[in-house]
Amino acid sequence: MKELIVLGAIQGAHGVKGLVKIKWFTENPKGLTAYGPVILNDIKALNVDIKFVTKNYAVCSLEGVETREQAEYLKGKEIKVERSILPDLKDNEYYQTDLVDCKVYNLKGKKIGEVATVYDFGAGVLLEVGEDLVQFNEENIKEVDIINKKIVKKI
C-alpha cells in the first residue's frame, strides 16, 4: 500500500454551491494544489481549486462536489497525496508526519516521551510530548534523527 501524506482537512461547507473550507497543513495554502489531484477517503483522486484564502482556511472547489450537502458530508475528511510525489527536503527540514512517534530524550539521554501530535497554529510548530507542548525550534531542539525516530531536546 502506498504511503499517504495529509495536506489538509475539510472543515465544512462554504456557501450553497459545494465549496469547502480546508485547513491546510502545508507551508502555505498553495500546497493543497501543488502536487496535482488529491486523494479523499484514501481512494478517490480529485482536483482541488483554491477560490480564496482566509486567515484560517482555504475556500476550495473539489471536483464532483456541487452542493452544500455534498460539501457538508465531507466535513472532517482529510486531503492526501502519495508521499512519493512530494519533493525531497533540505537539511533540517522535516515533514510533520515524520515527527509523530519520535522518541524524545533530554541532553542526558533520558527518554522523556514520544511525539503524539504536531500542531501548527501559525506561530510556530509545537510537538505534543506527554502532557507538554514543546516548541519545535533551534532553541529547544538539539537533534532530530528521523530514520531512528529520535529527537533530543535541549531544555
What is the domain-level CATH number for residue 62? Answer: 2.40.30.60
Residue 91 within a domain:
no
pLDDT of residue 155: 73
DSSP at 35: T
Q: Among the three residues 85, 112, 130, which one is the final residue of a domain in this structure?
A: 85
pLDDT of residue 53: 95
pLDDT of residue 124: 81
Q: Among the three residues 85, 113, 142, which one is the final residue of a domain in this structure?
A: 85
Average pLDDT for 9-36: 92
Which of 39-48, 90-99, 126-135 has maximum average pLDDT? 126-135
pLDDT of residue 115: 94
When the pLDDT of each residue in the chain is averaged and rounded to a whole number, the result is 90
pLDDT > 70? residue 1? no
Residue 90 within a domain:
no
The reply to whether 73 and 113 lie within a common domain is no
| pTM: predicted TM-score of the whole model, two decimal places | 0.74
DSSP string, 54-112: -SS-EEEEETT--SHHHHHHTTTPEEEEEGGGSPPPPTT---HHHHTT-EEE-TTS-EE
pLDDT of residue 108: 93
Q: Among the three residues 60, 85, 110, which one is the final residue of a domain in this structure?
A: 85
Q: What range defines the domain where residue 40 resides?
A: 4-85
Chain centroid to Cα 101, Å, comes to 15
User: What are 32-91's pLDDT values in tens digits?
Assistant: 999 999 998 777 788 999 999 998 899 999 999 999 999 999 999 999 999 888 888 888
Q: How many CA atoms lie within 13 A of 141 on its CB side?
A: 22
